[in-house]
Amino acid sequence: MADSFDAFRYFNYLRARWRWIAASCAVSVALALAVSMAMPCQYTATARLVIDPPAGTDLRSAMAVSPIYLESLKTYEEFAAGDSVFQKAIDKFHLRASLGSGSIESLKKRVLKVGLVHNTRILQISATLPDAKRAQELAKYLADSTVELNRVVGAEADQELLQGLEQQEHDIRAEVENMEAAWAHQIAEEPIGDLQAALSKAAELRLTLQQQILDTQLELADAADREKQASAVEQSEARKEASNATARVAELRKQLQDLQHQSAENERLLAVRNGHRDKLDAERKAAQTALIGIQTRLREARGESGHRGERLRVIDPGIVPERPSSPNVPLNLFGALLLGLVLPILYLTLAMSYEEQKVTERRSVFQTIPKARNE
C-alpha cells in the first residue's frame, strides 16, 4: 500500500504542476524552432561507386565475399577521403568563400563523409554544403577523382611490374647471347669431328693390324711345321721365314700398341670436350628456358595491365538534393519537447523527495520530544 500511495501521491504532485511542465515544453519547442529557423540550411548529396573484383576472377569466388576481403576494401575509403583530393576540390569549387578559412582537416570533417555500405562493395561519398547544386558537383567530383586515383595507382603498379620484368628479360637475353657466343667459341676451339673420325679410322686400322698379326702368326706356325719336316737346306729357309715372321709380328704388335695408346689419348680428349660441351649446352638450354619463361610472364603482365587490381566504377553520381539535411526541424522539435518534458519532471521529482525528507525529519523531532518528557 505504501508503494501505491507514494506513486499516487507522486502523480498528483506532478499533475498539480502540469502548467509548469507544459510551459517548459512550450519554451523548449519555441527555442528549438527559433534556432532551427535561424540555422543556415545544409544539403547533402551522395555519390556511389562499386568496387569490382580484378578481371579474370572466378565469378563464384567473387560472389563469396569474405569479411577479410570487405575489410581490405576500406583502403578505398582513404582514396576518397585523401587530403590532396579534398584540397583540389576546395580550390576547384572555391569552397573557402562559403565555408570559411579553417584547416583542411576541420573543413573535411564538416563537409565530407566516406564509407562502405555494410557488407557490400558499394562506396558512398557524401558532401554537405549550403548550396545543393554545388554539393552534388562536389560529390561527383570526389567520386570521379577516386576512380582516377585508383586507375593511376594501378597503372603505376603495372608499370613498375612491367619495368621489372623487362629488365629481367633484358638480363636473361644478354645471358643467352653470351651462352650462344660461348657455345660457338667452344665448337670452334674444341672440335670433336676430327677426333671422332680419327677414332673410327683407328678402330679400322686396329682390326687390320690384328688380322695381319693373326695371319703372320699362322705363317709362323706353318714355317715351324715345315721346318720339322724339311731337309737341312729347307730348314734354313724355314728358319729365315720364321725369323722374318717373328719380326713382323713384333712390329705389328708395336704398331697396335702405339695405335691403342693414341686411341686412348683421343678418347680421353673427346670425353673432356664432350663434358665441356654438355655442361655449356645444359647452361645454354637453362638460359633459353628462363628466357622463354620471362617472356611468357611479360606477355601475360602486358595483357593483364590495368585489370590486375580492383576496379572502381561510378554507378550513381548523385542528384541535386531537394530537401536540406540540416537542420532537421522535426527531429530538433522532438528532441526539444523531450528535453522540456524530462528536465522539469526530474526537477520536480528531486523537489518532492526533498520536501518529503524535511517532513520526515520534522515528524521524527516531534516524536522525540514526548519520549524525552516521559523519561
Residues 354 and 261 in one domain: no
3-state secondary structure at position 352:
helix
Q: Is 95 inside any structural domain?
A: no
> What pLDDT does 3 receive?
43
> What pLDDT does 6 receive?
67
Residues 256 and 342 in one domain: no
Joined grid coordinates for residue 236:
734354313
Q: Give me the helices (H) in 66-126, please.
A: 67-72, 75-80, 83-93, 96-99, 104-111
Q: Is 160 inside any structural domain?
A: no
Summarised one tens digit per residue, pLDDT across range 152-202 is 888 888 888 889 999 999 999 999 999 999 888 888 888 888 888 888 888
Q: Is 341 inside any structural domain?
A: yes
> What pLDDT does 95 receive?
85
Residues 276 and 188 in one domain: yes
Residues 185 and 269 in one domain: yes
Residues 188 and 297 in one domain: yes
Q: What is the crossing angle of helices 104-111 and 83-93, to 10°?
A: 80
- Distance in angstroms (rounded) separating the CA atoms of residues 134 and 320: 8
- Which residue type sits at 119? N
Please state the φ and ψ torsions of residue 319, each to the nearest 5 degrees: -125, 165
Q: Is 327 inside any structural domain?
A: no
Residues 223 and 296 in one domain: yes
H or E element, residue 112: strand 112-116
Joined grid coordinates for residue 268:
680421353
Contact 313, 123 (CB under 8 A): no
Residues 244 and 346 in one domain: no
> What pLDDT does 371 receive?
53
- Distance in angstroms (rounded) separating the CA atoms of residues 167 and 297: 12
Q: Is 94 inside any structural domain?
A: no
Q: Is 185 inside any structural domain?
A: yes
Residues 354 and 279 in one domain: no
Nearest to 146 by CA among 227, 64, 77, 74: 77
Residues 351 and 261 in one domain: no
Residues 344 and 251 in one domain: no
> What pLDDT does 79 receive?
86
> What pLDDT does 1 receive?
37
What is the C-alpha radius of gyration for the chain, rounded to an integer number of angstroms?
A: 54
Q: Is 231 inside any structural domain?
A: yes
H or E element, residue 238: helix 232-304
With a CB cutoff of 8 Å and minimum separation 6, the contacts of 136 are 45, 127, 317, 318, 319, 320, 321
Q: Which domain holds residue 18?
A: 1-39+335-361
Nearest to 310 by CA among 157, 156, 155, 154: 154
Would strands 122-129 and 311-316 be described as parallel, antiparallel, or unpaired? Answer: unpaired
- Distance in angstroms (rounded) separating the CA atoms of residues 288 and 310: 35
Q: Is 261 inside any structural domain?
A: yes
List, in sequence order, every residue forming a beta bridge with 368; answer none if it has no partner: none
Contact 291, 168 (CB under 8 A): no
- Distance in angstroms (rounded) separating the CA atoms of residues 75 and 63: 20
> What pLDDT does 41 receive?
82
Nearest to 110 by CA among 48, 51, 49, 40: 40
Joined grid coordinates for residue 144:
570521379
Please state the φ and ψ torsions of residue 281, each to the nearest 5 degrees: -70, -40
Please tell me the total count of domains within the chain.
Answer: 2
Q: Cell 686396329 appears where?
A: 206
Nearest to 93 by CA among 40, 152, 145: 145
| Intervals of the chain under pLDDT 70 | 1-6, 55-66, 223, 226-235, 238, 306-308, 363, 365-375
> What pLDDT does 2 receive?
41
Beta-carbon neighbour count of residue 131 at 10 Å?
16
- Distance in angstroms (rounded) separating the CA atoms of residues 64 and 286: 41
With a CB cutoff of 8 Å and minimum separation 6, the contacts of 276 are 186, 190
